[in-house]
Amino acid sequence: MKLRHKQRGAIGILVVAGLVALLAMAALALDSSHAMLNKTRLQNAVDAAALSGAKELDLTEKDVFLARAAAEAAFGANSSAFGNSEMGEAYSDGTIQLEVQFSRTLDPFVPGTIPAEYVRVRARNFRLPAWFAPVVGITEKVVAASAVAGPSPTIDTACNIAPVMVCGEPDPDQENGGAPTWGYEAGEPDVLKMSSNTSDVGPGNFQLIRLGDNTGGADIREAMAGGYDGCATTGDLVETEPGNTVGPVVQGLNTRFGVYSGPMGGTESLYPPDVITEQPFPLVTYDSDTDQIYQGTTPVQGAEDLAYNYDTYQSALALQSYNHPPELGGKYLRREWTVPIGDCSGTTNGQGQVPLLGFGCFFLLQEAIQQGNESHVFGQFIRDCNAGGMPGPAPGDGPGLYIIQLYKDPDSPEA
C-alpha cells in the first residue's frame, strides 16, 4: 500500500508531459501551415514580378530600367492583393527586401552582364510572427522566395501565327537551308504575299493559309490584324487558301500601322497600332517580271538598301521615339510577325496541303497597298521574335520563335 501511494503522482506528470507535447506539435503544425501559406503567396508574387520584368525587357529591347520598374510594380500589385495583407504590410514598411537582377546567361546567372536576357527577382526577410510556437522557443518564421524568367528555347508549336505562308529550303546542304532558318538570312527583305502567278506555292495560291473552318474575307481580315489565336506545330500539314482577298488583307494588316479602313474602323482598342509606324520612303514595290524588290528605282538586295529597316525600328524603340506611345494606345512589336514556313517542293494547285517546316520571324516593313487586284506584303527576316506557343520536347538553342517563361533559379534554394 505504501508503494502504491508513492506512485500516485506519476500519472499526472505523464499526462502533463503528453499535453505539452501535443500542444507543441499543434503549435508547430499551425505555425508551419501559416508560414507555408505565406511562402506560397510570396513565391507567386516573385514569379509574377520576374515574368513582368522579362516581358518588359523583351518588349523594350533590353531596357533594364523599365524592366526593373515593371518587376517592382508587379510585386507591389500582388503584395497588396486581397488575402496578402501580411505580405503587403511587410513590403510597405520595408521589412521584405526585394532585389531585381539581370543576366545575359541563365546558368550561371551573372548579375550585370549584358545584353540582359534573364531577370531574377528575390524577396527576402519576410518575417512572420509565431502564434503558438513560442511554447517551444520559436518566436518567428522567416521565409524567402526567388524566381528567374526569360526567353525559352526555340519553340516547335506556335500560336497567333500570320495567315500567310512562305516557302523554305529544307535541304541543309543548300545555302542557309535546313533548320532553323530554312533558307532565309537575317536582314533579308522578302515578299510575304504576292500574286498567284509568281507564288511558289502553286497556281491559284496567293500564299494565304486556311485558318480553321472559317475562311471568308472577314476571317482573313481579322487574322491579318492579329485576331487568329490558333496554333500549328512543326511537321503539320498546312491547308492552303486559294484566292487573293485583296481588300481584307489590306484592311486587316494596316491596323498595325494605325490605319483603320472599311470594317476595321473603330477597332483601335482591339487591334492597336505598333508604337512605331514609320515606313520606307518611297514605299517598297515588287516587279514580278524580274522577281525583284525595289525602293523607288533602286533594286533592294539586303537591309542596307532600305531607307527604313528593322535596325532603324530597333533604334527608335531604344530612344522611345514613338508615333503611338503606349499610354496613348500603341503596342510594342505589332510589326513582328510569326510566319509559317512550308516545304513547297511539290506545288499545290488551289486548295491543298503543304508540310510545315517551321516558323520564321518577319518584321513588317510597310503597310499593304492595294493596286488593282494585287496587294503585296513586305517583310524583313529577323533572327528571333516573341510568339505565343510552347517549346517542343527537345528544342534547339538557335534563332527562331520563343516565349517568355519561368525558370528555377539555379543559385537560390528558396526558388
- What tens digit of pLDDT does each residue of 30-59 get? 656 767 888 889 999 999 999 999 989 988
* 295 within a domain of the structure (yes/no): yes
205 and 170 in one domain? yes
* 324 within a domain of the structure (yes/no): yes
Q: Which helix (H) or strand (E) holds 148?
A: strand 140-151
229 and 193 in one domain? yes
Say which DSSP state 97 is in: E
163 and 149 in one domain? no
Position 396 pLDDT exceeds 50: no
* 320 within a domain of the structure (yes/no): yes
319 and 182 in one domain? yes
Judge whether 42 and 87 are in contact, CB under 8 Å. Answer: yes
Position 136 pLDDT exceeds 80: no
287 and 182 in one domain? yes
pTM: 0.68
Q: pLDDT of 100-131, one tens digit each?
A: 999 999 989 999 999 999 999 999 999 887 65
Handedness of CA 289, 187, 201, 192 (dihedral sign): negative
* 406 within a domain of the structure (yes/no): no
* 384 within a domain of the structure (yes/no): yes
149 and 13 in one domain? yes
In whole angstroms, give the CA distance from residue 278 to residue 306.
13
Q: Which domain holds residue 350?
A: 155-395
* 407 within a domain of the structure (yes/no): no
* 403 within a domain of the structure (yes/no): no
User: Checking DSSP bridges between strand 400-402 and strand 384-386, what pairing results, if any?
Assistant: parallel
187 and 134 in one domain? no
* 413 within a domain of the structure (yes/no): no
Judge whether 136 and 105 are in contact, CB under 8 Å. Answer: no
Position 26 pLDDT exceeds 60: no
- 68-77, 123-132, 159-168, 306-315: the lowest-pLDDT one: 123-132
| CA 190, chain centre distance (Å) | 24
What is the domain count for the chain?
2
pLDDT for the residue 194: 74
Say which DSSP state 395 is in: -
Domain boundary among the residues 153, 180, 209 is at 153
Place of cell 520559436: 138
Greater confidence, 179 or 189? 189
Position 15 pLDDT exceeds 50: yes
Greater confidence, 396 or 171? 171
In whole angstroms, give the CA distance from residue 380 to residue 286.
14
In whole angstroms, give the CA distance from residue 308 to residue 282.
10
Phi-psi region of 262 (alpha: psi -120 to 50; beta: other; left: phi over 0): left
283: three-class secondary structure by DSSP: coil
